[in-house]
Amino acid sequence: MKKTLKYCYKILQLSWAANKFYAILSIVGTIYQSTLYPFILVIVLSNLLDRLGKHSIVTISDLSGLIGVFIISTLILMVITSYLETQSVLLDTRMDNYIDLQIQKKLTQLDPATFENSEFQNLLSQLEGVKGTIGVNVMRITAFIDSIFKLITASIVVSMTFPLFVPLMLVAVIPSFFSLDDYRNKVWKYFVEERSLLVRVSQYIKNLLSQDGTSKEVVIYKSGDVLYNKVKEHQKSYIQKFTKASEAGLPSVIGTRIIEFLAFLFTQFLNLKAVLAGSLGIGQFTLYFQQTQNIMLGAHGILDHYSSINMRNKYIEKYFEFMAKERIIHSPIDATPIPKEPLPPTIEFKNVSFKYPNTKRYILKNFNLLIHTGEKIAFVGENGAGKTTLIKLLLRFYDVTEGELLVNGVNIKHINLEKWYAIIGVLFQEFIKYQFTFKENVYFGNKKEANNLELLKDAIKKSGADEFVRDLPLKYDQTVGKMFKEGIDLSGGQWQKLALARTFFKNAPILILDEPTSAIDAKAEYEIFERVQELQKDKTVIIISHRFSTVRNADRILVLDEGRIIEEGSHELLMKKKGLYAELFNIQAQGYK
């Protein structure tokens, strides 16, 4: 119970953060509409009936107080009802938006090591329906509070005349609580785990049918019907299991509700007996009838809403677990400044060994490498050789398992990450194709220079993107990509050059190119690397590429195999050695003949 109430408090805090004063107004309004107003009405009605029963002549003036209470309470109800009817959707939307922003903000605070963790990805996938679940729980909590008010007010009224009614009705609703709780335990997984699987399958197939890169193959191979039937079969299986679980719990729920009703009938037998004996008036009978019903509804509501809240909290717990996630890699509190000289800094891997978290195999073992200031380095090798892992360590997406990674002699673990990233420009293999304007795609490289038009033009020219931007209808203000209206999609090579412009716009001392051109043809890749070699002469450039022809102009080429440097030197020197580099180079060269 303590945990459930703790989450209730947290959810109400979220509601306050999203809607402020209106969150409280919504709760108070619901309580007034559901409990207080009906209570006022039954008090007015019972008094009216009693007065009419006791006096043969009753004037309007005799009833003016009751009429005034009725009019004022009804006007308040009209205002509250109008508010709830018109603003509830807006409040729900604001709540959803707030939760969505909290999730987005949290994602910006986490690091690549966290995102590559499979357990985190499982957690993230379960957040899909968390917004709706939190919204439902806000309503459940409001109803829970309302039920408490309903039970308290009704118990006070009824206990004065029929003290037995309260414990009798409370005992009568307990079996209903257990039956509903058992029912929810049986069906809850169909709201969460089973539903999540169905949604993932449905979304995956929806993407296959609709996305530009996959829909063509679906048309050619006519696999649309097969994919449609897969979704249909998953839905059919899901509904069958859900129906079976739901129907299994129905008899006990109906049975416990009958117990509640029989208890209520017994209380009203005693109530009616008192009227026939002349000890109660018609108005009092009406009051106790309605309030005894409220005892039942209030007690049932408390237990029902508590059970529902408790069950949903198992899901909502995932949200708070997500929000409590911390970065795996942290910037040091007392960071050591990177020595200003030389710039670009020297980079040294010193007896570095590394294995990924929760694995036993070392990707690197006692690895040593010194990259001099301004040097053009190329890593080549087959898949799994450790090339990309080196870049991840250099960017401190992970910490080395053993050894040290030094920047101008300072251990990278002691360097402020923001300061380190400020002097690095990276173009990844899976770079982002921002579906925004052309210039925004470039500005993301250095937000501090977002108004520097000259730097923008220079970066675009250096990357070669100027060759096609002039053909865009809105030039720099043209939306690129197909996601939004009037967006124009770019070819693979054009996206590549636009991403390279983003890297040049940052104008960082260290430039890393991690297989960014694997999706374009060899000629376009060669042109891009030629630009890099020509225009980045005063910078340290680190290149990873499967195409050996594009790295031949590097100052030093390092051939990796199973996390070790097995060959090192210039293109000419490595060709003379006739080792693995020469073998792989010649194999690729044969493919172009």
- Section 532-540 average pLDDT: 75
* Cα 157 to Cα 38: distance, rounded to the nearest angstrom: 14
* Cα 457 to Cα 453: distance, rounded to the nearest angstrom: 6
Concatenating the DSSP letter of every residue in 358-424 gives T----SEEEEEEEE-TT-EEEEE-STTSSHHHHHHHHTTSS--SEEEEEETTEEGGGS-HHHHHTTE
pLDDT tens-digit readout, 109-131: 998 888 888 788 878 877 766 77
Type and span of the H or E element at 248: helix 224-276
* Cα 372 to Cα 368: distance, rounded to the nearest angstrom: 13
pLDDT tens-digit readout, 513-526: 887 665 556 666 66
* Cα 321 to Cα 123: distance, rounded to the nearest angstrom: 8
- Section 473-479 average pLDDT: 91
* Cα 361 to Cα 359: distance, rounded to the nearest angstrom: 6
Show the DSSP H helices in 110-192 as ranges: 112-115, 118-125, 130-159, 165-187
* Cα 7 to Cα 10: distance, rounded to the nearest angstrom: 5
CB distance 197 to 128 below 8 Å: no
pLDDT tens-digit readout, 425-451: 998 888 888 999 999 999 999 988 888
Give residue limits of the domains in the chain: 2-323, 432-507
> Taking the chain, what is the end-to-end CA distance rounded to the nearest angstrom?
74
Count of other CB atoms within 10 angstroms of residue 136: 16
* Cα 273 to Cα 286: distance, rounded to the nearest angstrom: 13
CB distance 106 to 325 below 8 Å: yes
Pick the CATH number of 2-323 from 3.40.50.10470, 1.20.1560.10, 1.10.3720.10, 1.10.645.10: 1.20.1560.10
- Position 199 scores a pLDDT of 75
Q: Counting every residue, how long is the chain?
A: 593
Q: β-strand 510-514 against 424-428: which pairing, if any? A: parallel
pLDDT tens-digit readout, 500-515: 899 889 989 999 988 7
Residue (of 188, 189, 198) closest to 235 by Cα position: 198
Residue 367's beta-bridge partner residues? 352
- Position 366 scores a pLDDT of 93
CB distance 571 to 398 below 8 Å: no
* Cα 375 to Cα 539: distance, rounded to the nearest angstrom: 7
pLDDT tens-digit readout, 185-197: 777 777 766 776 7
Which whole-number Å values give the CA distances from 410 to 352, 372, 420, in the listed order? 15, 15, 11
- Position 438 scores a pLDDT of 92
* Cα 177 to Cα 300: distance, rounded to the nearest angstrom: 7
- Position 337 scores a pLDDT of 94
513, HSE (Cβ side, Cα atoms, 13 Å)? 35
- Position 212 scores a pLDDT of 67
- Section 354-373 average pLDDT: 92
- Position 536 scores a pLDDT of 65
Cβ neighbours for 591, distance < 8 A, ≥ 6 positions apart: none
pTM for the whole structure: 0.75
Tokens of 448: 């501090």
pLDDT tens-digit readout, 16-62: 888 888 888 888 888 888 888 888 887 888 777 777 766 667 677 77
195, HSE (Cβ side, Cα atoms, 13 Å)? 13
CA dihedral of 284, 289, 292, 294, whole degrees rounded to 10: -110
Tokens of 59: 């004037």
**Range 429-450 burial, b when 16+ CB lie within 10 A, else e:** eebebbebbbbbbbbbbbeebb
Rg from Cα positions in the chain = 35
